[in-house]
Amino acid sequence: MMNYAQAREFIQETNKYGIVCGLDSIKNLMARLGNVQEQLALIHVAGTNGKGSVCAMLKAVLQAAGYRTGIYASPAVFEPEEIIKVNDHAISQEEFARLAGSVQAACMDMQKEGLPHPTAFEVETAIAFCFFKEQACDYVVLETGMGGQQDATNLITHPLCSVIVSVSRDHMAFLGSTLSEIAAAKAGIIKPGCPCVCAAQKPEVMEVFKQAAAEKGSALYFTDAADIGSFSYNGLRSVYKEAGGLALSGTLALTGACQRENLACVLKTVQLLRGLGILIPREAVQKGLAHVKLPGRMERIAAQPDFYIDGAHNEGAALCLGETVKHCLAGRTVVYIIGVFADKEYEKMLQILLPYATSAVTVTPLHPRALDGRKLAQAVRKYHGTAVYMPDFVQAAEAAQKAAGTDGAVLAFGSLSYLKEIKKAVHNLPGSKA
């Protein structure tokens, strides 16, 4: 029997197969595992920005309604197992190791037959499906990894409904260089006869979704941030009133300008689920939204100064984060810590976000695709006069805190990949206040 260390080594080894778009491999793999995904009641979520928030909110609402709810959402921010959860509990190391052993055996059978070995994402997706079946989940919220049409999660055939959040330019090497091409990839999760909720989009994106829904005979429901009658900020929480057709009012334990749009998607999805006969009392909606958790998204990890971490890593996310900084941190000294991947359109992010900063510190994330922080500092100086590169995360956190002062704020963003190291560095600083 495989132990946890061996399981993690197996996952690490599969990384050599890279990113392979297509469903043949995951279909072959799941067939050997009993196609358990077909026995799950699934809500499938795709898009560029907001997937994590929408998935977290839907999970929280269904859980508050008394349902045993699974969620598969990647990438991991702090611990590898956090991408697979049932209610508030991540898959244990023992459970992960046991299921990884079963998946590895199926992978070996595929190789013996001359078939390609599944990728790391396909392996983890298979583990998630098997875990949710074992745990007898009432419902599962399933986030795509990248794209939609050729994403491993898209082997499912009959979700309860699909949800597509805001679409912008990202992963262009795999999904296409234009918004229409990227939208076509995301539209792949729309299934025949299954309703789809879609956030307000640019006209060319909307046309792609309308055409895809029409071809598949699927009802398409566009939402609008204006569906939320009132949306304001109260510290790290958002306050909403007269929300959607549910006429709800309450607090949302997530902050950020983009959460208004995300909330509209969630409430429309709740309405659809109710229409399918799923009992979700309004009290459960309010309770779930008030207690939802999402690590690494405008998450405050320390005080004096307030220290936030956020995974914004593309133009669309930067626009939302900029609005958040403008509204929630106005009048304060704001210092950025920035680390990015070289294949991202980071200069667009800088142009959007640097006007709200007093100064910036750059770092190099611990990832093969990372942009050298020294090069990033040079790019920052093109748009902002003050930027300093720090070779390690402790130095970066210390320098940013000092520059912000007790009453200021520090915001680390640019990639989810280094937020764990930043959080650890902050908590290890002398005098740090959680």
| DSSP structure class, residue 367 | S
pLDDT along the chain (434 residues), means of 10: 93 86 93 98 92 95 98 90 96 98 97 95 97 98 88 95 82 60 89 94 88 94 84 74 75 85 93 96 95 89 92 85 87 95 91 94 94 96 89 95 94 93 90 62
State which of 259, 291, 323 marks the end of a domain. 291
The position carrying tokens 């941190």 is 329
Whether 265 and 141 map to the same domain: the answer is: yes
Whether 308 and 352 map to the same domain: the answer is: yes
Q: Is 432 a domain residue?
A: no
Q: Do 220 and 209 contact (CB within 8 A), yes or no?
A: yes
Q: Do 390 and 396 contact (CB within 8 A), yes or no?
A: yes
Whether 277 and 317 map to the same domain: the answer is: no
Note the pLDDT of residue 228: 84
Q: Is 171 a domain residue?
A: yes
Whether 93 and 165 map to the same domain: the answer is: yes
- Structural domain including 154 reads 4-291
Q: Do 372 and 341 contact (CB within 8 A), yes or no?
A: no
Q: Is 55 a domain residue?
A: yes
Q: Is 434 a domain residue?
A: no
Q: Give the Cβ contact number of residue 75 at 10 Å.
A: 16
Whether 186 and 127 map to the same domain: the answer is: yes
Q: Do 50 and 255 contact (CB within 8 A), yes or no?
A: no
Whether 392 and 264 map to the same domain: the answer is: no
Note the pLDDT of residue 347: 92
Whether 287 and 333 map to the same domain: the answer is: no
Q: How many domains does the chain have?
A: 2
State which of 261, 291, 321 marks the end of a domain. 291
Note the pLDDT of residue 315: 86
Rounded to the nearest 10°, the torsion over CA 192, 193, 195, 199 is 30
Whether 256 and 400 map to the same domain: the answer is: no
Q: Is 28 a domain residue?
A: yes
Q: Is 256 a domain residue?
A: yes
Classify 336 as helix, strand or coil: strand
Q: Is 154 a domain residue?
A: yes
Note the pLDDT of residue 181: 84
Q: Is 21 a domain residue?
A: yes
Whether 123 and 253 map to the same domain: the answer is: yes
Whether 322 and 360 map to the same domain: the answer is: yes
Q: Counting beta carbons within 10 angstroms of the beta carbon of residue 1, is it exposed (0 to 12), middle (13 to 18) or buried (19 or more)?
A: exposed
Whether 277 and 413 map to the same domain: the answer is: no
Whether 264 and 325 map to the same domain: the answer is: no
The radius of gyration of the chain's CA atoms, rounded to the nearest angstrom, is: 21
Give 19's contacts (C-beta < 8 A, 6+ positions apart). 119, 121, 146, 174
- What whole-number distance in Å separates Cα of residue 130 and Cα of residue 344? 34
Q: Counting beta carbons within 10 angstroms of the beta carbon of residue 266, is it exposed (0 to 12), middle (13 to 18) or buried (19 or more)?
A: buried
The CATH code of the domain that includes 347 is 3.90.190.20
State which of 254, 274, 291 marks the end of a domain. 291
